[in-house]
Structures are given as structure tokens and as C-alpha cells.
């Protein structure tokens, strides 16, 4: 019997230790817990690598913040921010009016066009007419989902919603969807990979700033003006002192900051 | 599939190390959640058997709701609500805001779900102890707590073990559901590894083997515990 | 043999006691206030816009549950039977199947089938011209098969116990009446075993209902997927999930009531 009591006591101690409270000074940066090359993806040693990781390191160093990467499911990343599971989102999240109702954004830190890809053998254009009758794959709660639903939805056979971009790409390769709409850089990374050999870029979609937004920003909770000012200043500094250009060169041959 | 085994090797470029870390996280969650569930279960079982009418009804609501709603939905609800509630509570009593680690939130979620099932298992086991034994303990002048510690708990253990063993198996498998909220346990890291390398079959099968291993080892340990707890009891069936 | 340990601690409906004891009335008042507060202070303006889609989602969930349980149960009968009386290799096969399915998370099985097989398909272009392709490219067959296999494995274990538990004497009596092996199985063994397994069936079906939302992770549209959609459109954290919990609570309640009705129709006189 004594051993049982000891076990229970140990359990309580372990339990409370696990509930231990971490230091409050850290800034928890929410990443989408999925491979999203070339921006954020986990590597074989469990570390996160990619352009946005370098970007995060640069602005955190500039703003003197202790940033900790916290992977969160993409479709729950905004609730995670508002319920304080994380303090900011660096996840290629576009600044849109719809999102601005719930959260705040820093200034944009990159902006790229939206593309549509499909099987090489399948010839069509990235227009509502070209995608008529096709099954289109998009990632849930993205600008691409909203755009595809509005412009392609009426004509397309189906808009399939995936938890992660990677799974949408995978199903395009498997032939379960005919087209995938997403950020052109992320699609480019897929097309260059082995699995992406099946497919090619069908074109860029016609811009609609109301849905596609004004570029990608750091997602922040409303009412945290302090952090926002710091991040905006840091983005401005790394843009002007060449840091931004330096780490971008490792990944891109063009300027991702956009117009 | 090219170089399937190479992908699973323990050091990069293999993803084996990441997967084992995921397994460790899963086990941590399962053990923590299971023990928390057991504590809730002991409290809940005694509350249901000996508590006042209001406590009994509240516990009934707790066990009914938890067992009728999918674990996936509960996990989503509790994962956000749990953290939110704690930070609101701290704010209310004027303490500085705290960060609750993902692990603590995960253990809390699994524990609350497990607690409802534990309550039922333990309540059944306590009811199976002949009341005469507990009365005898009280007649010897033991306090209720002493009687609980020396008589009720050890006597009910053989009845509770099959149910509790089952709950442990469920706990290990329920941890996989935390993949949906982005917690880096075995199933999620498997999905990430599979997505990054496109070797879906290799990684999902490897993860399946790891889960099976956990089940098999657990079965052996449970059999040993059961034999230990049943010593001195007449053989059944 | 030790007592059967595989029966899951499934949902057991609470005993009906008088609803009008004073403390109950008090508790009901408290809950009414909580529900009123939830209805009043939380945001529910999205509800009318999604009403139709929610009903469709509930329907899809029920269809998934119904067919996967029925087909799963039909599979469970042979799985249970061969473990009791089948030839050794078949018995081992069935036992191995049950252990593997019950020992791994459903979510993992689902992803293995959907994305794992998907990656295999992309290696065989000729598959895309076959008559099976229109089905293979959709998501629901994978969800259905995974749920069905899972139900078959869990219920197969129950059926094994049920077949083994039918008293020898009854089978011997049937034999003595001159019944052939198959007639005996059809008239005595199977009905008696199903009768014995019936009480666990309600619990297993509730567990199956609780597994159905997982198929939403492979793009199948069920009630969970619709609620996810609401969460993403409205950015609300709690309201849609609370409604979802309520929907499942009601579905479980209806399911349990239906099984109770069914059981009351079947006369029981267990020894």
C-alpha cells in the first residue's frame, strides 16, 4: 500500500511540475505546424528552417525580443493568438480587411502574386473559364480559399479544402484534384521538388486586393501597440540596412518584398 | 520507395530522431493525462458515491457530457478554453499573466477527458468491494481516510485494473488527436516528415509500428501488475 | 482464462431519478441562467446563414455512421467466429488484425490510407483510366473504409467473446436435433451470440459516432467540417465549438434512446 501512496504522491509532483509556469518575458511566435517551403518547414533534425525563420531571427534580434517558435495548427492559428497561446503569427499571413476585424497586423514584409498549378498533360488557364468543371484544391482559411470560392466556385466542379498546403499539393500529384491555387512562391517550391514534376504553372490569377490583401504581415493581438511599433521599426531597419536583402538572396533571385 | 530505411535513420537526413522525440512527447502527454485523469477519477468516484446530491448531479453532468461528445471536439474546446480560463483567473486575482506550455495544456485536456471515464471505472470497482470490509475497518476505529487508504483502495484495485488498463490504451491513442491543434506529438511529426519527404507510406507505417510497440509493452506491464494485484484472490473463470 | 478486458468503458446512460427534487430544480435554474448568458452575450448571428449546411453536415455524419457500423458489424461476425472455431492461421490473422487496428490511433490509420495510398496512386498513371478512379479520387471512400475497419476490429473482439460465451449445451442440443453445422450456426449460435453482444453495441456505436469527425481531416464534409468552416469565416473560438458539442450530445442521446428502444423490443432472459 505504501508504494501506491508513493506513486500517487509522485504523480502529483510530476503533474504540478508539468504544469510549471514558463517565463513570461518570451515572445511566442506562432508558426503553422506544417511544411510550407521555402518559408517555414521543419527539417530532419527537428529545427525550423526557411526564409521566414531568417526573417524572424532578423526582426527579433533588431527589436531585442526573445522569440520562441511555437508550432500551431494553421486553421487554429488566429484563436491561438486571441487566447494568448501565441503572441504573434509569422506564417505568410496576408493582411486582409476580414482578418483585421479580429487581429492586428504589422506592416507588410513580403508580397507575391497568386498562382494556379495543374497537371502538365491538362491544358487550361487560371481564369474562371479555364477552371470550369475542375476540382480545385486550396488550403483552408487562406485568401486563396476565399478567392477560389468567389471567382472559380460558381463554375468549378468542387473546391476542396485542405488542412495544409502540402496535402493539397500531394492530392494534385495523386490526381485527386485538377488544380491548386496558392502563393506563387510556395507553388514554385513544390514544382521544383520531385513530387511536383507532374505539374506546371497555369498562370497568375487576376488581382482582387479586397480578398488577396495588401501583402503579408506579422499577425498581432489587437491593443498591443507597443509590440506593433517595435516590429514595424525592426522591419523598416532590416529593409534599409541590407539584412533583408542578404538573407533573401539565399532563397530568391528576385525581390520578394514586392511593390 | 527509394531509400526508405535511410529516411528513418536516427540522425539527419533521417527523420528517426524527430519521430522518437515525437514519441517521447506522446508518452509524456499520455502519462501526464492518465495520472491527472486518475486523480479526477478517484475524487469523482468518491464524490458520486458519498457526496451530497448537488455534487453527485454535477459529476453526473460532467461524466455524461464528456463521454457523449467526440474527443476531438473536447480537445479543441479545452485546448483554447483551458488556457484562456487560467489567464483570465490570474488576471482576476491580480497575478501577472502566465504562459501555459503546450504540454501542460495537452495534459490538462487528456486528463479532463480521461477523468470522466476513470470516475466510472473506479466507481464500479469501489462498489464491488464488499461493504462489510469497509464497515469492519471503520469499526476498528480507522478514520474514513485511513479506511480508504488501507482497505477500500487496495481492495478495489483488482476490480479496477482491467478498466484502468483500457483507459491507458485509450490515453496513448487519444494523444494523436492533439495533432489537430498542432502539438508536436508522434502523429503530427510523422505527417510533417511525410509531407517534407513525400514518403508517406514509409513514415505512417513506421509511426504505426511505434504505437503498436507501446501497446505491446503496455500489455506486458499490465499483465504483471494484474498478477500482483490479484495475489491472494480466488481465480476467476 | 481471465475475464474479458477489452470492453471499452463506453457511454452508460444515467439512471432516471425524479427530476423535481429541490436541489435539481436549483441546479436546473443555474444551468438555465448559464445557457441564457451564453445565448445573450455570445455571438450567434452566423447561425441562420449556416443552418442549411449544418443540417446537411449532420445528415452526412449520420450516413457515415450508419453504413460504416452496419458493414463493420457484418465483418465483425466472421472475425469473431474464426477466432473461436476457425483454422489456426485464419484465427491468428483475425487476432493480428484486431491487435493492429486497436493498437494504433484512428487518425494515423486514416492518414495512412488517404495520403499514403494517394502517394502510391501517383506512381501508377494507368490507374487513372480505370473504372475505379472516379471513386478512388474522392475522399469519402477512404473515410468510410477506415471507420468500417475500426468498427469491425473493436466489435470483432466483442463478437469473439460472444461466440465463445454461448453455452456448449445449447450447441450440443442443436446437434442432437440433427441440425447440420451451418443450420446450427444460423439458427442457434449466431442469434445467441448477437443477443449476447447487443448490450455492448450501443456503446460501440456511440464510440463510432465520436470517431466520425476525424474524417473531416481528409476533406470529407461532415458536421465537424461545416463547423470548422464557420470558425474560419467568423474567427470565433468558442461559439461554433459549443454548438458542435451540443449537436453531438443530442446525437448521442438519440442514439442511446434508439438502442434502448431496440433492446426493449427483444426479449431477454439471460442466465
Instruction: Name the burial class of residue C206, with classes exposed (0-12), middle (13-18) and buried (19+) by CB atoms within 10 angstroms of its CB.
Output: buried
Confidence of residue C126 (pLDDT cuts 50, 70, 90): confident
pLDDT digits (tens, 9 = 90+) for C13-62: 555 566 677 888 888 899 899 988 888 888 899 999 999 999 999 999 99
Confidence of residue A16 (pLDDT cuts 50, 70, 90): very low
Q: Report, as an integer, the average pLDDT of A7-12.
A: 54
Cβ atoms of residues B25 and B186 within 8 Å = yes
pTM of the full structure = 0.89
Cα dihedral across residues B84, B90, B91, B95: positive or negative: negative
* C252–B194 CB contact, under 8 Å: no
Q: Report, as an integer, the average pLDDT of C120-149.
A: 89
Looking at the domain assignment, is residue A164 inside a domain? Answer: yes
Q: Which residues, given as ranges, of chain B have pLDDT below 70? A: 1-4, 96-99, 234-237
* C235–A140 CB contact, under 8 Å: no
Looking at the domain assignment, is residue A256 inside a domain? Answer: no
Instruction: Write down the pLDDT at residue C197.
Output: 87
Looking at the domain assignment, is residue A8 inside a domain? Answer: no
Q: Which strands make up the sheet holding A27-32, listed edge to edge?
A: A67-72, A27-32, A88-89, A216-220, A104-110
Which among A19, A41, A170 has the least Cβ separation from residue B104? A19
Task: Name residue, grid cell 477527458.
Answer: B113
Instruction: Write down the pLDDT at residue C41.
Output: 87
Q: ipTM > 0.90?
A: no
Give φ, ψ of A203 to 5 degrees.
Answer: 140, 175
Residues A225, A208: one domain? no
* B17–A22 CB contact, under 8 Å: no
Instruction: Write down the pLDDT at residue A191.
Output: 95
Instruction: Write down the pLDDT at residue C11.
Output: 53
CATH number of the domain that residue A133 is part of = 3.40.190.10
Smallest Cα distance from C49 to chain B, Å: 22
Q: Is the pLDDT of residue C80 over 50?
A: yes
* A101–C235 CB contact, under 8 Å: yes
pLDDT digits (tens, 9 = 90+) for A160-185: 999 999 999 999 999 999 999 999 99
* C237–A171 CB contact, under 8 Å: no
Query: Cβ of C8 under 8 Å from any chain B Cβ?
Result: yes
Confidence of residue C118 (pLDDT cuts 50, 70, 90): confident
Smallest Cα distance from A254 to chain C, Å: 33
**Nearest residue in C to A80, CA atom:** C237
Looking at the domain assignment, is residue A168 inside a domain? Answer: yes
Who wins on pLDDT, C218 or C264? C218
Looking at the domain assignment, is residue A4 inside a domain? Answer: no
Looking at the domain assignment, is residue A155 inside a domain? Answer: yes
Confidence of residue A24 (pLDDT cuts 50, 70, 90): very low
Instruction: Name the burial class of residue B51, with classes exposed (0-12), middle (13-18) and buried (19+) by CB atoms within 10 angstroms of its CB.
Output: middle
Residues A118, A139: one domain? yes
Residues A169, A243: one domain? no
A·C CB contacts under 8 A: 49
* A171–C118 CB contact, under 8 Å: yes
CA dist C152 → C78, C97, C102 (Å):
10, 10, 10
Looking at the domain assignment, is residue A125 inside a domain? Answer: yes
Instruction: Write down the pLDDT at residue C271.
Output: 44
Instruction: Write down the pLDDT at residue B97.
Output: 63
- Class of CATH domain B4-229: mainly alpha
Range of the domain at A192: 114-212
Instruction: Write down the pLDDT at residue A154.
Output: 94
Instruction: Write down the pLDDT at residue A20.
Output: 42
Residues A126, A142: one domain? yes
Q: Report, as an integer, the average pLDDT of A206-233.
A: 94
| Residues in contact with B151: Cβ distance below 8 Å, sequence separation at least 6, in sequence order | B129, B133, B134, B136, B137, B142
Confidence of residue A4 (pLDDT cuts 50, 70, 90): low
Domains of chain C: 49-265 (1.10.3720.10)
Q: What is the mean pLDDT of chain C?
A: 88
Q: Is the pLDDT of residue A22 over 50?
A: no
Q: Locate the domains of chain B by residue range.
A: 4-229
Residues A87, A29: one domain? yes
Q: Is the pLDDT of residue A12 over 70?
A: no
Looking at the domain assignment, is residue A13 inside a domain? Answer: no
- In eight-state DSSP terms, residue A217 is E
**Nearest residue in C to A161, CA atom:** C219
Instruction: Write down the pLDDT at residue A32.
Output: 95
Using CB atoms, which chains have 3+ pairs under 8 A with A? B, C
pLDDT digits (tens, 9 = 90+) for A66-98: 999 999 999 999 999 988 889 999 999 999 999
Number of domains in chain A: 2
Instruction: Write down the pLDDT at residue B1.
Output: 43
Amino acid at each position: 500500500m505504501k508504494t501506491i501512496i508513493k506513486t500517487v504522491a509522485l504523480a502529483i509532483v510530476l503533474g504540478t511540475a508539468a504544469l510549471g509556469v514558463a517565463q513570461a518575458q518570451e515572445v511566442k511566435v506562432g508558426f503553422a505546424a506544417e511544411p510550407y517551403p521555402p518559408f517555414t518547414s521543419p527539417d530532419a533534425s527537428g529545427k525550423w528552417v526557411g526564409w521566414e525563420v531568417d526573417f524572424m531571427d532578423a526582426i527579433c534580434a533588431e527589436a531585442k525580443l526573445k522569440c520562441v517558435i511555437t508550432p500551431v495548427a494553421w486553421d487554429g492559428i488566429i484563436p491561438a493568438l486571441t487566447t494568448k497561446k501565441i503572441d504573434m503569427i509569422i506564417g505568410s499571413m496576408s493582411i486582409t480587411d476580414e482578418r483585421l476585424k479580429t487581429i492586428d497586423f504589422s506592416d507588410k514584409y513580403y508580397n507575391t502574386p497568386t498562382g494556379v498549378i495543374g497537371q502538365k498533360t491538362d491544358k487550361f488557364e487560371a481564369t474562371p473559364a479555364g477552371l470550369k468543371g475542375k476540382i480545385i484544391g486550396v488550403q483552408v482559411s487562406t485568401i486563396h480559399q476565399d478567392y477560389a470560392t468567389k471567382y472559380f466556385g460558381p463554375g468549378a466542379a468542387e473546391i476542396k479544402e485542405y488542412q495544409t498546403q502540402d496535402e493539397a499539393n500531394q492530392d494534385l500529384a495523386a490526381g485527386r484534384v485538377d488544380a491548386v491555387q496558392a502563393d506563387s512562391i510556395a507553388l514554385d517550391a513544390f514544382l521544383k521538388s520531385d513530387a511536383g514534376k507532374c505539374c506546371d504553372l497555369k498562370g497568375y490569377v487576376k488581382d482582387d486586393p479586397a480578398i488577396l490583401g495588401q501583402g503579408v504581415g506579422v499577425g498581432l493581438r489587437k491593443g498591443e501597440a507597443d509590440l506593433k511599433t517595435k516590429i514595424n521599426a525592426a522591419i523598416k531597419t532590416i529593409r534599409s540596412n541590407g539584412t533583408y536583402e542578404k538573407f533573401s538572396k539565399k532563397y530568391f533571385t528576385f525581390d520578394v518584398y514586392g511593390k | 520507395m527509394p531509400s526508405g530505411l535511410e529516411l528513418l535513420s536516427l540522425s539527419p537526413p533521417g527523420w528517426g530522431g524527430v519521430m522518437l522525440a515525437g514519441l517521447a512527447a506522446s508518452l509524456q502527454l499520455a502519462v501526464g493525462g492518465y495520472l491527472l485523469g486518475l486523480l479526477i477519477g478517484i475524487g469523482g468516484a468518491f464524490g458520486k458515491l458519498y457526496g451530497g446530491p448537488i455534487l453527485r448531479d454535477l459529476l453526473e453532468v460532467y461524466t455524461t457530457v464528456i463521454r457523449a461528445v467526440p474527443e476531438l471536439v473536447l480537445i479543441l474546446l479545452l485546448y483554447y478554453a483551458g488556457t484562456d480560463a487560467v489567464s483570465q483567473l490570474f488576471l482576476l486575482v491580480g497575478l501577472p499573466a502566465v504562459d501555459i506550455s503546450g504540454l501542460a495544456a495537452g495534459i490538462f485536456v487528456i486528463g479532463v477527458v480521461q477523468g470522466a471515464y476513470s470516475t466510472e471505472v473506479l466507481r464500479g470497482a469501489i462498489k464491488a468491494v464488499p461493504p462489510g470490509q469497509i464497515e469492519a475497518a471503520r469499526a476498528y476505529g480507522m478514520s474514513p481516510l485511513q479506511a480508504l487508504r488501507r482497505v477500500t483502495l487496495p481492495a478495489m484495485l483488482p476490480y479496477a485494473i482491467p478498466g484502468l488498463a483500457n483507459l491507458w490504451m485509450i490515453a496513448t491513442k487519444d494523444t494523436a488527436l492533439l495533432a489537430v491543434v498542432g502539438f508536436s506529438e508522434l502523429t503530427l511529426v510523422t505527417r510533417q516528415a511525410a509531407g517534407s519527404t513525400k514518403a508517406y507510406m514509409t513514415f505512417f507505417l513506421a509511426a504505426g509500428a511505434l504505437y503498436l510497440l507501446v501497446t505491446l509493452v503496455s500489455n506486458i506491464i499490465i499483465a504483471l501488475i494484474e498478477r500482483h494485484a490479484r495475489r491472494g484472490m480466488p481465480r476467476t473463470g | 482464462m481471465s475475464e474479458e478486458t477489452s470492453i471499452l468503458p463506453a457511454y452508460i446512460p444515467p439512471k432516471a431519478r425524479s427530476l423535481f427534487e429541490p436541489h435539481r430544480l436549483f441546479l436546473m435554474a443555474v444551468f438555465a441562467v448559464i445557457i441564457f448568458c451564453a445565448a445573450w452575450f455570445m455571438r450567434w448571428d452566423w447561425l441562420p446563414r449556416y443552418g442549411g449546411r449544418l443540417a446537411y453536415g449532420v445528415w452526412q455524419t449520420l450516413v457515415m455512421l450508419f453504413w460504416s457500423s452496419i458493414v463493420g458489424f457484418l465483418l465483425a461476425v466472421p472475425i469473431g467466429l474464426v477466432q473461436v472455431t476457425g483454422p489456426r492461421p485464419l484465427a491468428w490473422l483475425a487476432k493480428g488484425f484486431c491487435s493492429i487496428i486497436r493498437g494504433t490511433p484512428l487518425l494515423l490509420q486514416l492518414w495512412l490510407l488517404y495520403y499514403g495510398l494517394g502517394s502510391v496512386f501517383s506512381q501508377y498513371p494507368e490507374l487513372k483510366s480505370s473504372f475505379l478512379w472516379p471513386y478512388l479520387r474522392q475522399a469519402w471512400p477512404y473515410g468510410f473504409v477506415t471507420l468500417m475497419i475500426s468498427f469491425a476490429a473493436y466489435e470483432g473482439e466483442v463478437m469473439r467473446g460472444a461466440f465463445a460465451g454461448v453455452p456448449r449445451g445449447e450447441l450440443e442440443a442443436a446437434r442432437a436435433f440433427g441440425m447440420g453445422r451451418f443450420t446450427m450456426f444460423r439458427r442457434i449460435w449466431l442469434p445467441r451470440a448477437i443477443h449476447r453482444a447487443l448490450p455492448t453495441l450501443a456503446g460501440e456505436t456511440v464510440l463510432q459516432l465520436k470517431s466520425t469527425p476525424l474524417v473531416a481531416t481528409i476533406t470529407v464534409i461532415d458536421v465537424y467540417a461545416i463547423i470548422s468552416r464557420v470558425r474560419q469565416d467568423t474567427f470565433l473560438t468558442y461559439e461554433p465549438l459549443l454548438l458542435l458539442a451540443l449537436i453531438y450530445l443530442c446525437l448521442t442521446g438519440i442514439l442511446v434512446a434508439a438502442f434502448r428502444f431496440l433492446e426493449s423490443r427483444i426479449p431477454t432472459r439471460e442466465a
